[in-house]
Amino acid sequence: MTTTISPLAPAGFPALPAIPGVTLRIARARYKTWDRCDLTFVTLDPGTVVAGVLTQSRCPSPEVEWCRKALILGQARALVVNAGNSNAFTGDRGRAAVENLAARTAQHLGCQPSDVFLASTGVIGVPLPIDKSEAGLAAAFTAEPCGWEDAAATIMTTDTFAKAAVTTAIVDGRTVSLVGIIKGSGMIMPDMATMLGFVFTDAAVEPAFLQSALSDANVKTFSCITVDSDTSTSDTVLAFATGAAGNAPLASDEDTGADAFRAALADLCRQLAHLVVRDGEGASKFITIDVTGAESDRSAHRIALSIANSPLVKTAIAGEDANWGRVVMAVGKAGEPAERDKLAIRFGETQVARDGLAVTGYDEAPVAAHLKGNDIDIGVDLGLGEGRATVWTCDLTHGYISINGDYRS
């Protein structure tokens, strides 16, 4: 775990309310040599429902495969998260470790193993040590309950700060709370979600509606961030709803408060997604890329990702170089409809190119000033249609190489 906090980190950890029906505990399984807790154990009251979005990697971890099957039932009693070992690409030994953790947790709680959800993050290719996971879990069973910040810190790997967010919504005349914690810093360009994220709410929600709301929120939040264009084997976002708020359960968009709940969940996911980018490995700039005028939203999204993932664009931003020609390059290579003579580009509020040419009399000074800040805005208009998309990324610095060059040590 890195000790130098990202310059893009928020001023502090937010004040988060307790979610009735959710109890957090942490323990040391000692998966790595670090001297900190690395196992998070969350118990959930009976009746808690769950939804999730999982990596589309063709080499998923056994934890992802376990969650994928368990999500079909829509019920949850516990969450176990391991940090320091992803347990991915570990064959039968990895699957046995997952089954063992689920069985031991289910026995402890008196529930079914399918009610237990698991996630692991860290080095790929090393089986999760069953002896260490058992010892860590046993310690967690008897640990005192902890707060959100401890839980958020325990799921970290190369993260430099604990990440969390909160929102509320009015549902059926009652105020419901939504709290989320997340970890992620590198290996970030999800096809569904980012690294590991967990949302908890006291709202009463039917599993199918919760799944629909989370999937929709993901499309414009977690699936719109990238640090390095790499999708993890372990990406998992799970949402748990305890129903303790006592509202009439949300089952469809016709129910009172359904729109408010969807909006609150989307806002929470957006906050969490931004925090991951702000902790991108070695990041010094938070970059927002807005693409408009594309033939479709899908096309705009692909173009925005092409810009966001370009090492030449990212290093130019790191060096505070107003090299908008690299944005042109990234648009052109995206494989999506684009016409050079209709293309327009802006940095911040300054239009730098229009109609396929540099703007006449373009003054680079305000762009240079914009690039010296921490928050960078790049706008691209294709001039072809109504498609639009926003993607968030960070710059690429020597820090990224340093972190990943010795990641396993």
List residues with catalytic annotation.
Answer: 194
Show Cβ contacts of residue 18 under 8 Å, excluding neighbours closer than 6 positions.
Answer: none
Across-strand partners of 198?
181, 238
Report how far apart, in Å, the C-alpha atoms of 400 and of each of 88, 273, 283, 403 are: 23, 19, 8, 5
Which three-class secondary structure state does DSSP give residue 199? strand
Nearest CA to 156 out of 288, 266, 6, 21 is that of 6
Q: Round to whole Å and give the CA distance between 367 and 316.
A: 13
- CA distance linking residue 55 with residue 231, whole number of Å: 8
Strand partners, 53: 237
In sequence order, what are the beta bridge partners of 377? Answer: 288
Question: Is 236 labelled as part of a ligand binding site?
Answer: no
Q: Which two tokens stand for residue 77?
A: 């009693």
Q: Across the chain, how many H-helices and E-strands are there?
A: 11, 15
Q: Is there a binding annotation on residue 220?
A: no
The label of the residue with tokens 């609150």 reads 264
**Are the beta carbons of 123 and 407 closer than 8 angstroms?**
yes
Nearest to 34 by CA among 135, 209, 157, 206: 157
User: What is the amino acid identity at position 70?
Assistant: A
State yes or no: 409 annotated in a binding site: yes
Cβ distance 281 to 304 under 8 Å?
no
In the block, residue with structure tokens 């090492």: 311
Pair type for strands 375-381 and 286-294: parallel
CA triple 48-53-56, angle to 5 deg: 150
- Residue that has been written with the tokens 């802006």 in this structure: 346
What are the Cα distances from residue 129, in Å, to 68, 73, 151, 288?
22, 28, 21, 40
d(CA 222, CA 238): 12
Q: Is 157 annotated as a binding residue?
A: yes
Annotated binding residues, written as ranges, equal 157, 183, 194, 281, 404, 409
Binding residues for substrate: 157, 183, 194, 281, 404, 409
